[in-house]
Chain A
């Protein structure tokens, strides 16, 4: 097995180094931005009350929010792309290059089991990909904890779902297995990269749709009030726990919107709540998607193992 691993690395060193450098740079960026944001040490009251941001303890707040918006946002956006590109770069050439350059002809004539030949290489590069992606996935979790406004990740609506933690690895492996199958089926690297890229986008869309089906239903829950209510769904519940949208409350209110009586009525009778899946349920949601992606990955690798026994090596 060590010989197989060494030779597989040598054969695919460009892709392995490219993915490794990408993962390392993104992990460093995530940690760097997290430290940068942390260095401002912005007091919570400066975030809650924009009017005091010109005062001494809050002088760095605007800069910190700008870094949060620009740099942390970019790092998280890159986290969406990284597993996609990494899986693509390692998956398509794994067999595609061998067929395109003709080396599969020699390898498959020497190997009494093409399936074993494939699975050994899938194992080596799959484990490598998982380890490499785990580094930025952990670093992104650290960045998330420093993002502004500071949320208690355990109680807020799930933030940046799938852009941090184990799902980054699972999505990368799913993309790797799709790319593997397409590279094997097409036997050409460049067309394989294009087709697998499109297939990856389709998969991303399907996973997004499946999330609505497989996830727990969003529900109102108490979360720390703060600026995130501006960005994430929220409702108002009455004393019996019935939820209303803001438009419904405007229609029911005894005074028009803007009248101080409206604000009083609202505060006396309703409580603002977040609507969604609380961060404390993140593990459940992650486990469901991890399970789905694991099944998909295994099915795609299994299909590749079936196909390789039937495919010509050229």
Chain B
């Protein structure tokens, strides 16, 4: 199959329910090849669910997903061959060494690049002979990342890998991911709660809230389009600005996120507005998602 024109990851009218809980509702997404995308949202937003659907661990209740055009449910082998996956819970085999994990990966994935994964771990000074039970959380995560990188897959799906890491380990992790993107032009989807780190690591942003896509845009473009003001300040004369959501500030005040519509001046002539940070932008959209639900 010629898949050069296909997006790396695709979801069309994707819904997923667990009993009465709706994890994803009519999600349409298209993630282009060679992009690094952050997937952010609160707990229960559906971030892990959508990633697991691409890996083939979850099956859609409705709609469809595709990995380079392959349906992970019907054509799991071909879809998985394009994916390197770092799961949320980085459980390694406690009885095995790091080296054993690499050998295991060689038996499981044809073409697994053991030397590449080993080099990666040596660079981080993680001993290959160490029992994984003796490694720190950050080192265990690096082992899982090395396994994903050793697959030489075009697409890396990283499901909240940063949450349990200290700031230095987060930087190291993101540096490795960045190297892969630069060297291979890989497509990376990184789900995370940690907003501060993703701005430098990712080009695009998806905000997922309550099972829906609230925003999908380039990070730079999104920051240029969003502005912030105190919520109780009326913004008369700004018809080209659309309110997104209100959220509490650090000192008890409430802020409102505004989105500049197409055609509006790049910088509004209003001192009550200031550019939103990425974190404020995400907070505003998450607040809007909550409002939509309620």
Contact = CB atoms under 8 A, between A and B. Distances in A.
A112 interface: yes
Given A103-B92, A110-B147, A112-B76, A10 B100 contact: yes
A111 B81 CA distance: 9
B95 interface: yes
Contact of B103 (A7, A13, A313): A7
Nearest to A2: B107
Contacts of A106: 85, 87, 91-92, 144, 147
Interface string B105-119: 111111010000000
A110 B110 CA distance: 9
B77 interface: yes
B267 interface: no
A312 B110 CA distance: 23
A11 interface: yes
A107 B76 CA distance: 14
A3 interface: yes
Nearest to B96: A10
Interface in A74-118: 101-103, 105-113, 117
A105 B89 CA distance: 9
Contacts of B151: 110
B14 interface: no
B275 to A, nearest CB: 39
B78 to A, nearest CB: 8
Interface string B135-169: 00000000010010001000000000000000000
B58 interface: yes
B147 A4 contact: no
Interface in A103-152: 103, 105-113, 117, 120
Interface string B69-80: 000000011001
B104 interface: yes
A103 B96 CA distance: 11
Interface in A1-35: 3-4, 7, 10-11, 13
A171 to B, nearest CB: 29
Nearest to B55: A109
A1 to B, nearest CB: 8
A241 to B, nearest CB: 65
B88 to A, nearest CB: 9
Contacts of A113: 77
Contacts of B85: 106, 109
Given A102-B89, A113-B77, A11 B95 contact: yes
A13 B92 contact: no
A110 B109 contact: yes
Nearest to B157: A109
A313 B93 contact: no
Contact of B109 (A3, A111, A120): A111
B87 A11 contact: no
Contacts of A108: 57
A107 B104 contact: yes
Interface in A182-232: none
Contacts of A111: 80, 108-109
Nearest to A309: B76
B100 A110 contact: no
A236 to B, nearest CB: 63
A120 B151 CA distance: 21
A101 to B, nearest CB: 5
A112 B57 contact: no
B113 to A, nearest CB: 12
A128 B16 CA distance: 42
Contacts of B11: none
Contact of A102 (B87, B95, B147): B87
B291 to A, nearest CB: 32
Of listed B93, B108, B144, residue having the most chain A CB within 10 A: B108
B27 interface: no
B109 A312 contact: no
CB-based closest 10 A-B pairs: A102-B91, A112-B77, A109-B85, A111-B108, A110-B108, A105-B87, A102-B89, A110-B109, A4-B107, A101-B91
20 contacts: A3-B106, A3-B107, A7-B104, A10-B95, A10-B100, A13-B95, A102-B87, A102-B89, A105-B87, A105-B89, A107-B104, A109-B80, A109-B83, A109-B85, A109-B87, A110-B104, A111-B108, A112-B77, A112-B80, A117-B108
Given A109-B57, A110-B151, A112-B80, 19 more contacts: A4-B107, A7-B100, A7-B107, A11-B93, A11-B95, A101-B91, A102-B89, A103-B92, A105-B57, A106-B87, A106-B91, A106-B144, A107-B104, A110-B112, A111-B80, A111-B108, A113-B77, A313-B57, A314-B57
